[in-house]
Amino acid sequence: MATASTPSHLSWSALLFPLALVLFEFATYISNDMILPGMPAVVREFGANPTLIPSAMTVCLLGGASLQWLLGPLSDRIGRRPVMLGGAIFFTLSCLGILWSQSFSVFLFFRFLQGMGLCFIGAVGYAAIQESFSEAMAVRVMAMMANVALIAPLIGPVAGAAVLQIADWRWIFIVVAITSALSLIGLWLRMPETSPKLASPLRIGTLWQDYKMVYQNRRFVFGGLALGLNCVPLLGWIALAPVILMQNAGLSTLDYGLWQIPVFAGLIAGNIILAKFVTHIPIQRLIQLGTWPMMLGLFAALYLLYDAQNWLWLVFAMGLASVGMGMINAALYRLTLFASDQSKGTVAAALGMFNMVVFAAGIELLKWSYAHWGNASFTLICFACGLIAVYARREFLRDTPAHSTD
């Protein structure tokens, strides 16, 4: 039920905070997407093996799982606003620090630090969004934020290639640092304080009990597993697309960026569908409807078991699957976050850590299998992830009470 503190309609004033947050999210994402076309230059400069290119994304995701256990409960106690502002400052400084990398290991270290920026989004920023809006409006805002954030993988590779035409790869992170600094200004001016500011002290024993209660919640675990596996095929595509399209298919950097458009356009379309119909169709029904295009796309990708080099078919199959992913993600996130009665900072952190581990494990499995068996194994594992996600969603929704639209 909407209250005075949880708007049930979207005014320009109400959107200023989500816009500032999504600019920070955009900065964290584009730090990965802009450097993708520059990764061959990075490994050449540091004398690293090109097979380590996907590891830069894996390290970033592990960074995104490293601090959430602390940040969520911390923001429950001292406030979401100071923790989020501190995160924006930290990410900006980590983008500047990578400029002095002298080896690939140091480069990966700073990518890990940059990945920590994701911790603040998932454990603090998203919790504040959910607390600032009613259910249907929160889903709409999250879907709209996702569309803005998805501009990063669409323009990131092309923008990164453009920077590389005139400057060193380090300038990519200068651009990202400037973007992050702008988001910091917006958050400073417009972010509200939504934390309950719990009086209980922040102790390891207390945190352990809180997280134990969250992870013992069967519905939460199924929701988190479904949400994580729902994203693995797309994240695997992002991580391996430079190898699939540039190294193996021989596309130029510009063509690589252009052929990303069908995939992310599908994800944007799915988010638009979700945002348009979430106030008219129950969230559970939208999640079920989104399953169809996702699984049809992943099933279509299995054609590469017979024609392994048909990257064009793979692009469009992933685009179709992405429509379903877009319809599912924001809605499933909302329901999973409220599957536990613990404070939302703690639940958001638990969900973020769970997802990041699933993401990292999924990407590493896809990277390993692709190195041994190529495109065919990539599509097979993506399809398997989709099947397990469908099962987990079914178990999650079975115990989920019906949600009416606001």
- For 140-171, write each residue's pLDDT tens digit: 888 877 777 667 767 787 788 889 889 889 99
The residue assigned the tokens 């809605």 is 331
Average confidence score pLDDT of the chain: 87
pLDDT digits (tens, 9 = 90+) for 51-87: 777 778 788 878 877 888 899 899 999 999 999 999 9
β-strand partners of 3: 6
The alpha carbon dihedral of 228, 244, 150, 122 has a sign of positive
State which H helix or E strand residue 29 sits in. Answer: helix 12-33
Greater model confidence, 231 or 200 = 231
Identify the CA nearest to 335 among candidates 257, 293, 398. Answer: 398
Determine the average pLDDT of the residues in 270-289.
90
- Once rounded to an integer, what is the mean pLDDT over residues 176-189? 95
Give the Å distances, CA to CA, from 402 to 98, 327, 335, 397. Answer: 48, 18, 10, 9
What percentage of residues in the chain have a pLDDT greater than 90? 44
Supply 153's token pair: 């993988």
Q: How far apart are CA 114 and CA 110, in angstroms?
A: 6
Residue with tokens 């200004």: 185
How confident is residue 400, by pLDDT bands cut at 50, 70 and 90? low
Domains and CATH numbers, the chain: 13-398 (1.20.1250.20)
Q: Is the pLDDT of residue 2 over 60?
A: no
402 phi-psi bin (left φ>0, alpha ψ -120 to 50, beta other): beta
Q: How many helices (DSSP H) and strands (DSSP E) are in the chain?
A: 19, 0
Whether residue 405 has pLDDT greater than 60: no
Confidence at 9, pLDDT banded by 50, 70, 90:
low
Per-residue pLDDT of 73-127, as tens digits, reads: 999 999 999 999 999 999 999 999 999 999 999 999 999 999 999 889 988 998 8
Does residue 10 surpass a pLDDT of 60? no
Tokens of 334: 């909302």
Span 366-381, mean pLDDT? 90
Inter-axis angle of helices 151-166 and 135-149, nearest 10 = 20
